[in-house]
Structure formats: structure tokens, C-alpha cells
Structure 1
Amino acid sequence: MDSPTPSALPSIEQIASCIAGYDPNALAVAQAQDFIARFVPKVGAVEQLALRSALGRVLAHDIISPIDVPAHDNSAMDGYALRGADLRDGQPTTLRLAGTGFAGQQFEGRVAAGECVRIMTGAVMPAGLDTVVPQEFTSVADGAVTLPAGVVRTGDNRRLAGEDLARGEAALQAGRVLRPADIGMLASLGRAEVPVRRRLRVAFFSTGDELRSIGEPLEAGCVYDSNRYTIHGMLTRLGVELLDLGVVRDDPAALEAAFRSACENADAVITSGGVSVGEADHTKQVMARLGEVAFWRIAMRPGRPMAFGRVASNGRTAVLFGLPGNPVAVMVTFYAFVRDALLAMAGATPQSLPLLRARTAEAIRKKPGRTEYQRGIVSRAADGDWDVQLTGAQGSGILRSMSVANGLVVLHHEQASVERGGYVDVLPFDGLV
């Protein structure tokens, strides 16, 4: 891993000492998020990519504009360029037509007082002219252009040089996940390549003797592994490199081999299952033996048990996220903790996910002291507000509820029960799940 060596990173104990009220047996969601943000390292390697290949990648350095964009004052309209000083106050203005200015060409003629130039959108403003009147406001006859009083003021419909970006100005800042508009803006600066951080590598696997992969027969008491497919989808949305290690049986040798392979080939490792407090299995033992791992009971529902830390093998270290085994808990803990951490590791500037304020269609029971995430269906009401209806039973094993829902109702740590018609925060799934 090209991030700092383990000795240069803060330990779990050091970070725990900085978290007010830290208690691994009753950790608030905000405390766990703070802890993780302090703990994860950032990928250091940088590569140059062709502009069209950079979508979704994390910008490694600030991009400074080498030019003014636009390079010249130009017209924002098809119409007539004129001097604002020639406009007659409260009366129509008639100007002699001196020629035409086309986009991509400099108008070379001289424009005297009382004259105007036919101009196209994007064309360079002729010297001395500072205003454009849209053509639909004018009448033309015998080589003269007339415009009514008050249709334009001095400076209207003129785009100034450097109005979009000035030479020497920061166009984009390091840490930005590049979007289509960013790619277009970089092209407007004439850049063919862009410096980005290398992709984060994430390994993941599921644990449990009861799990079967798709295509295998289901014996009594066994279930198909859905978590690995869900995690694969969530990671794909983040644009990371994936290493799927499959289903690993609850066997010490198999688990250790999986963890070592993950450490040696990835920056982060995500597991599902085997982290419940007091659970007598081998996963927690192997995690602890290979690294520095905290086992948390988080004050949240679903997703109470979680392991977090780092594991190492053959001199390589990876950040570990040990998620619960229940399918809904996997998704909730991923979006509560893992998503932002992986983006930070990839070098992206942290940005909180936007919450939608919605009116609940039913009463929701809740006690203060933990954060709850309930699946909901958000729709626009007749009065323009957003309404949210819960999907029904909220058990952490009901994966279908996540498929039916289009958002998570977030009931915050200190929040109590909500009456029907009360307002709650909702994390929309659109573009996320």
C-alpha cells in the first residue's frame, strides 16, 4: 500500500483517547464516524489519465486555469452589438449597420459612433462595443437598426473575458470526484490529461458455514449469500477496484488465508458476518491475531455489532471493516460508516450525504439513545411536501424492504418517537443504492 506505514499511523488506543465518552460497548454513530475518519489513511500514488478516462476519479492536485475562459469579451445572443453610450434615454434608438461579426472570427472593421454590428452568439465583441440587443427586439430597414426604448441597458448580453474562469484561478480543487461538468470544464482549458489518485483497492468476502454461493445446492439450514452481491454493487458505485474472495467457511486456516490474501492485495477489507459480541467463532480471533481491531457495539438499529481496525500480512496493511451478517444491517452500516471512509482513503474531500426532510405518514416509535434507520418510500404530496411511508416490518434480515424502499428514514441519536404528520430526515437512495 502506498499510504503511510503502520508505525506512522495513529493506533486505536490513541484515537480512542481523543473521542469524548468513548465506550466500545455503547458507541454512538457520530463517535464511530469520528473515530473512523481519524483512523483511515489516504492513497498516495498519482497517475495521469486521458481526460475522457477520468470520470469518477479523484483529482490529485489543484487545477489552475492557464487561460481566461472565455478568452475575449463575446456576445451572449444573436443580435446587434452597440455602444451603450449611443442608447437614447426614453426614446427609440436607430443605428447604422457597419457589418457582421461571426463566431470564431475577429471583426476587423472600425465602428464609429452611432453604428452597430450584426453579431452571432459567441462572437468576439468588436472593439469599443459593450452591449448586445437581441435581434427579436429590433427592426431593420435601409441599412439601419432600430430598437425600442428600454429593451437593453449598457453591458447587457455581453460575456466578459475570464467571466467563467480567470487566468491563474483554481478551476478545480484536489479531492474532487470528477463529474461530467468537470470533464467539460477541463476540456475548455485545453487539458488533454488530468492527475488523479490511483483507484482504491477493496477486497471483500462473506463468512459462515451456512452460506452457499449461487449455483450451489441448498442443504437444510443453508442460505444463499446475498451480502457479497450487495457489497459488490455498493462498491461498484464508488468506482473502486474490487477483489471478491467469495464465501469463506468458519475455519481458522481458511479465514486466515482469506485475510492474508486481502491484506496483500488491497487497501481495505470488508467482511460480513462473524462479528457479533460474544459470538464463539473464529472470525474475530483471526482478525485480532492479524492486526489491531476494535469490536464495537454501536448504538444503532440495525447494525449494532461491527469490527474496525487494520490487519497486516507480509508487510502490507489494510483497513478492516467487519460488518454484521444480516443483509439490511450490511447496507445500513456500509452507508453509515464505510462509504465515507473509502472515499476519504481514495483522496476525496469528505461530503455529507444530503438528507431530505419528509412528513411521515404514520407514527414511529423510538427511544432516545440510539440512531435508527428505517426503510421508507418517499413521494411528493399534493401540497408539495415530501411524504414518507415505512415499508412495513423493519427486521434486519428483510432484504426485500431495501429493494422496495427508495430511502432510509434516519432517526437521530437523541430523537424520540415521531407522531403521524411529524417530519423526519430521509437519506434518498437515488444515485446511492
Structure 2
Amino acid sequence: MKLIATVLTGLLPLTALAVDFGPFTLTGFAKIEASRASNQCSNCQLNANEDRHRPWADALSPGVPYGTSGGHLTLFQPYLGTKEFDLGGGFKVKGLLSQRWRDGKQDIAGVVYEKNATVLHEDYGLVQVGAFPTRSWSLADYPYGTNLGISDAWASSGAGYGLLTQAVRYGSPLLDVSGGDLYLEATYDAGDSKAKVRTPALFELHAKYVKGPWMVDAVAQSAKNGQAMAWGHGPFIGVTTTDPFEGNRVQGNQQSIVMLMARYQLNAKTDLYAGVRHNRWSGNKAVVTGYVAPNALWNSMFNVDGVDAATNKAYSASSTDISLGAVFRFAPKWNVNTGMVYLGKASTQNPVDRGQSNTMLLNTVGVGYEIQPGFSVYGFTGMVNFGKKGLAPLSMPGHAAFTGVDSRVAKSGNWMGAGLVYTF
């Protein structure tokens, strides 16, 4: 069981000062961050908060100013877990409950990050049931994103889903392969149980291999009848979110990713990181699902050539994204890091440009100092460059996602800031 815990350290949130009381353990993190960035435009879009793939969301508000402005962020996520209870015969069971708050509000309305139970056995592996994050998001977020200052841009982009609500996961016992430890995992999620026509289903496979200086994570995820999106943090629920019988009117949706990420410890002070992800979307035709006078209600369309009910089409698309970075610990409590995310052009037959011809290159540099165990301060700077001014790459959930720089307004932008993080 200790060996399993060692390898799974890279799959779990970083903890430093856990609080034990009775059969429970409380861990988590709190973060506060302030920044200042160029080319910010919070109200540039004419239809505020509208889904980027609805063509009427393309228009900008004329004359709206944009420029350098300040911003702030707070994140708080506690994890309340039970200690492992011995069931006999080598079996143990534990539970976990967790939620995240962003700027004082529930991070994703109606979705709990962790609400699950796990049965473990050193010889047979583990079975987990309930709500928990996918590996495609959680690993891209930490360690492969957080350590490089690119967690949002890398983990929250692409064709994957991030949070599961009705899932079951099986994890293998550790396997000795070529002198290293191999961990294998399979996950299935049924999505929203209210779906009556387009039944959701998500499958994810994960392999983690640790040997010497190497840690390698491979993830493949395939989903059908979830909401069409390019938001790797998004919840997998159903193709519709209101009327459970709307599946009679909308098409089914399919999207998938294949991702490979690796960390190599060059020496005692330096870690190198790399990641590559291939995305595929089926596209989702624009359909009116109902009316709330005087407005029509629309589905979550994706990569369409218009919204004419009789003639609009949805087109499949694929793209490849890349991440790179390094961390250098130049003193016992100091480190510097740099990261890069590149979101590539998409391949699609859509004759209308929905962002498939654009790219995004994001670069960061950061420095961190551990004040004491569990309590750190950090500073960061970065810049973003789009291939051209226009609609954002298909891998992005919104035209101003991750940086506040709207690709329709400015081709580039930069930022700097500082933050505090407490991990307990």
C-alpha cells in the first residue's frame, strides 16, 4: 500500500499540513493573486457571456475602450477525507468530499469536485465511485500546469472534459515494468441521469509510469453526448442542460483527446516538462430547442457554418496542442519556472472560419519562495500572441480565455503579478 501511495502522489492535490480530527482528515489550499495586464476588454463582446460558437456572439461592441487594467483572483478548495477503514482481507475503504470556490463563489455552479468512496487492496487495486475530476484535466492542472504557471491555459483548453458526476474508476495495483512502476486506470461516467434520448457516456484510460528521473502520464478520453465545448475543465453532464427530452431535437455530440505528458529530473535542481494533446470534435449542428418569448433557445452548437434551421451544418475538426516548461530550484526555498502553451490550427472542412485558422502562443516566467512549509509567495509575468486578430483557436473556450486578451480586439498582450498560496 505504501508503494501505491508513492506513485499516486502525482495524481493527488499537494498537501503539507493536514488537520486530523477523529476519523477525518482536512487538507486543501487557499490562494490569492493580484495582477496587471495589457489589452484587457471585459465588455468587448456585443452579446455579453454568450457562447463563442453561436455566430451572433462574434460581434463586438463599437467604441468600447480597452487597455491596461488590474485584476485579482482567489481560490479556495478544502478536501475532507476519511481515514482508511480496514474491512479485513486486505481491503480498505475511504471517502472524500471537496468543493472549490473562485472569488468567493462556487467555481462551477451545480458541480461538486469530489464526492466519492474508494475501496483499495494492494493486490487487486482500487475502485472509486462517485464524483471526481478526470485525469486529463487534473494532471494537466497539477503538476504539469501549476508548476510552470500555465495551469489554466493548458488544463482548461482542448476537447476533453474535466469533472465527472456519476463515475466509476478502476485503478490497477502497481506493476513492475522494466525496473519502473506502472499504474493503469480506466474510468467510465454516465453523465446526467436525466438525459432520456441522447445518453451520455465518457470513457477515459490513464497510464502512469515512473522510473528513475522519468514520470510519464498518458491519457485517452472519448465522450459522446456531452455538451459540445473546448473547455478541458468543463463538467461532463449531457448534450442538453434543461429539458431532458431535448435529445429528440438535437444531434448527438462526440469529442475526444489523446494526451501525453512527461517530467524529467535533469538533476537535483532542475525539472523539465513537456506535453502534447490531440483533440477531435464531431461538431454540433445549431438547433432551436425552445422559446422564452421573445427569444429562441439554442443548443450548445460547435463549428457550424450558420444558424439557418434548414441549411446549417456542423463540421468535425481536429487540432494538436503543445506545452513545454522547466523548474529550477536555485536555493533551498527558491525556484524559478518558465512555461509555454501552443494551441494549433484546426483541420476542418467548414467553409466558414470559426477560429480554425488561428493559433495561440502563451509564455510565462515565474519565481517562487517558500516562507515556511505549506506557505509560499510567488511572482509571475507572461505574454500571449495570437496568429492573427480574429476568432480564437478552436481549442479555446472563449475569445478572451486565460489572459483577458480578446483575440478579436488585440493580437497580443502581456501581464505581471504576484500571489500567496497556503497548502494545508
TM-score class normalised by the smaller sequence: under 0.3
**Higher gyration radius (CA):** 1
Q: TM-score, normalised by structure 1?
A: 0.23
Name the one with the larger strand percent.
2
